C-alpha cells in the first residue's frame, strides 16, 4: 500500500500567510509598547510590573519584555525599593520636540474657519505678549460689513475680547501686578476703568468660560472670545468672534459665547494643551 502523505493546500489568493516574526508582529509590539508608555504617562508616580500588565491587559512576561526594550532605548526606567517603572528622558525629549514645533496658526486655522462658518462672523486668533494681545491670524466672514484687524496689531488686555479672555485666565497676583503697572486707560466710553468693575468682570469670565467686549475697544463693534491653554493649563492665547453691534445683539452674544468656548477647548487639545479646572 502506498503510504499516505499530507498535502498542504495552496495558499488562498489575497491572503497573507501567518508570519509571527514579520511585520504584523512588529506592529503589534509597537502598539503594545506605546500603550505601556501612555499608561505610565497618565499615572502620577511609578508603577510596578504587575500594575502595568493589568492596566494594559497583557501577560506579565510580555509586559516585562516590552519594558526591557523601552528601557534600553531610554523611554522608561526602573527605580526605588519597589522597582517601580517611570517614563524616561527619551520620552520627554520626543514630547518636548512636539511642543517646540507646534504651529498655532497652522493647527488652529481649520477650527477658526469652522467657527466662522457656524457664527457667520469674522474670527481672530491672538497670543499673549507681555501685557498685550497680538493678532496672528484671521478668517474673515462673507458679510459686506465686517470687522477686520491688521495681523501683528496689538490690543490691551483690559479692553478687548481676546485680551479679557487671556487676562481672566492669568493668576490673580499677575493680574494685580499688571493693573498696577498699566492701569485701566480709557479707550472708548465703554472701556472698563475701575479695578473693582474689572475684577467683577474677570470673575464672570472665569465662571462662564468666555469674555465679552461691548464696544470697549472699538465703537460699533462687539466681540466674544475664549482662551486656549498649553500643557500646564496656562493661557497661550485666545480666539474670538467679532462683528458690528447691529448683528450681535445680547441674545446672539449668549449663543456665541458657549460656541467659541467649545472651539477654544478643541484647539487646546489639538495643541497638546490641558483645559483647566474652573476657578
| Of the residues 70, 97, 124, the one at which a domain ends | 97
Position 254 pLDDT exceeds 90: yes
Residue 200 sits in the same domain as residue 82:
no
| Of the residues 48, 73, 97, the one at which a domain ends | 97
Residue 116 sits in the same domain as residue 236:
yes
pLDDT in tens, 154-201: 899 999 999 999 999 999 999 999 998 889 999 999 999 999 999 999
Dihedral angle at the C-alpha atoms of 80, 83, 84, 85, nearest 10 degrees? 110
Residue 128 sits in the same domain as residue 180:
yes
Q: What is the CATH number of the domain that holds 86?
A: 1.10.10.10
Over range 57-71, report the average pLDDT: 94
Assess if residue 9 is contained within a domain. Answer: no
Q: What is the CATH number of the domain that holds 143?
A: 3.30.450.40
Beta 221-229 vs 211-214: how paired, if at all?
Answer: antiparallel
Residue 123 sits in the same domain as residue 193:
yes
Assess if residue 39 is contained within a domain. Answer: yes
* pTM score, whole prediction: 0.65
Assess if residue 278 is contained within a domain. Answer: no
Confidence of residue 5 (pLDDT cuts 50, 70, 90): very low
Q: Would you state the pLDDT for residue 9?
A: 42
Judging by beta carbons within 10 Å of its beta carbon (0-12, 13-18, 19+), is residue 124 exposed, middle or buried? buried
Cα–Cα distance measured from residue 124 to residue 25, given in angstroms and rounded to the nearest whole number: 47
Q: Would you state the pLDDT for residue 153?
A: 83
| Of the residues 97, 123, 148, the one at which a domain ends | 97
Q: Would you state the pLDDT for residue 225?
A: 97
Confidence of residue 102 (pLDDT cuts 50, 70, 90): low
Determine contact, residues 229/268, Cβ cutoff 8 Å: yes
Determine contact, residues 112/226, Cβ cutoff 8 Å: no
Q: Which residue has better confidence, 182 or 14?
A: 182
Residue 80 sits in the same domain as residue 41:
yes
Selection from 23-27, 147-151, 232-236, 265-269 with the highest mean pLDDT? 265-269
Nearest to 70 by CA among 120, 29, 21, 125: 29
Residue 212 sits in the same domain as residue 75:
no
Position 99 pLDDT exceeds 80: no
- Please give, one letter per residue, the 3-state secondary structure of the chain: CCCCCCCCCCCCCCCCCCCCCCHHHHHHHHHHHHHHHHHHHCCCCCECHHHHHHHHCCCHHHHHHHHHHHHHCCCEEEECCCCEEEECHHHHHHHHHHHHHCCHHHHHHHHHHHHHHHHCCEEEEEEEECCEEEEEEEECCCCCCCCCCCCCCEEEHHHCHHHHHHHHHCCHHHHHHHHHHHCCCCCCCCCCCCHHHHHHHHHHHHHHCCEEEECCCCCCEEEEEEEEECCCCCEEEEEEEEEEHHHCCHHHHHHHHHHHHHHHHHHHHHCCCCCCCCC
Residue 235 sits in the same domain as residue 252:
yes
**How many domains are contained in the chain?**
2
Its domain, for residue 132, covers 102-270
Amino acid at each position: 500500500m502506498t503510504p499516505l502523505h499530507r498535502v498542504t493546500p495552496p495558499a488562498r489568493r489575497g491572503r497573507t500567510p501567518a508570519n509571527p516574526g514579520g511585520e504584523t508582529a512588529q506592529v503589534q509590539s509597537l502598539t503594545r509598547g506605546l500603550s505601556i508608555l501612555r499608561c505610565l504617562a497618565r499615572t502620577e508616580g511609578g508603577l510596578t510590573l504587575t500594575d502595568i500588565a493589568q492596566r494594559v491587559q497583557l501577560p506579565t512576561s510580555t509586559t516585562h519584555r516590552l519594558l526591557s526594550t523601552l528601557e534600553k532605548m531610554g523611554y522608561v526606567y526602573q527605580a526605588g525599593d519597589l522597582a517601580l517603572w517611570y517614563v524616561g528622558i527619551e520620552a520627554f525629549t520626543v514630547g518636548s520636540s512636539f511642543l517646540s514645533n507646534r504651529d498655532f496658526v497652522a493647527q488652529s486655522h481649520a477650527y477658526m474657519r469652522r467657527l466662522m462658518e457656524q457664527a457667520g462672523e469674522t474670527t481672530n486668533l491672538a497670543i499673549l505678549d507681555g501685557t498685550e494681545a497680538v493678532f496672528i491670524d484671521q478668517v474673515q466672514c462673507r458679510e459686506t460689513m465686517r470687522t477686520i484687524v491688521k495681523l501683528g496689531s496689538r490690543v490691551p488686555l483690559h479692553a478687548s475680547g481676546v485680551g479679557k479672555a487671556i487676562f481672566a485666565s492669568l493668576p490673580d497676583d499677575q493680574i494685580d501686578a499688571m493693573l498696577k503697572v498699566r492701569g485701566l486707560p480709557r479707550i472708548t466710553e465703554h472701556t472698563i476703568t475701575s479695578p473693582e468693575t474689572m475684577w467683577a468682570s474677570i470673575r464672570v469670565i472665569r465662571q462662564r468660560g468666555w469674555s465679552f467686549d461691548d464696544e470697549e475697544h472699538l465703537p460699533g463693534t462687539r466681540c466674544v472670545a475664549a482662551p486656549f491653554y498649553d500643557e500646564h493649563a496656562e493661557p497661550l492665547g485666545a480666539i474670538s468672534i467679532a462683528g458690528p453691534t447691529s448683528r450681535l445683539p445680547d441674545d446672539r452674544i449668549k449663543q456665541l459665547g458657549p460656541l467659541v468656548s467649545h472651539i477654544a477647548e478643541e484647539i487646546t487639545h489639538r495643541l497638546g494643551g490641558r483645559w483647566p479646572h474652573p476657578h
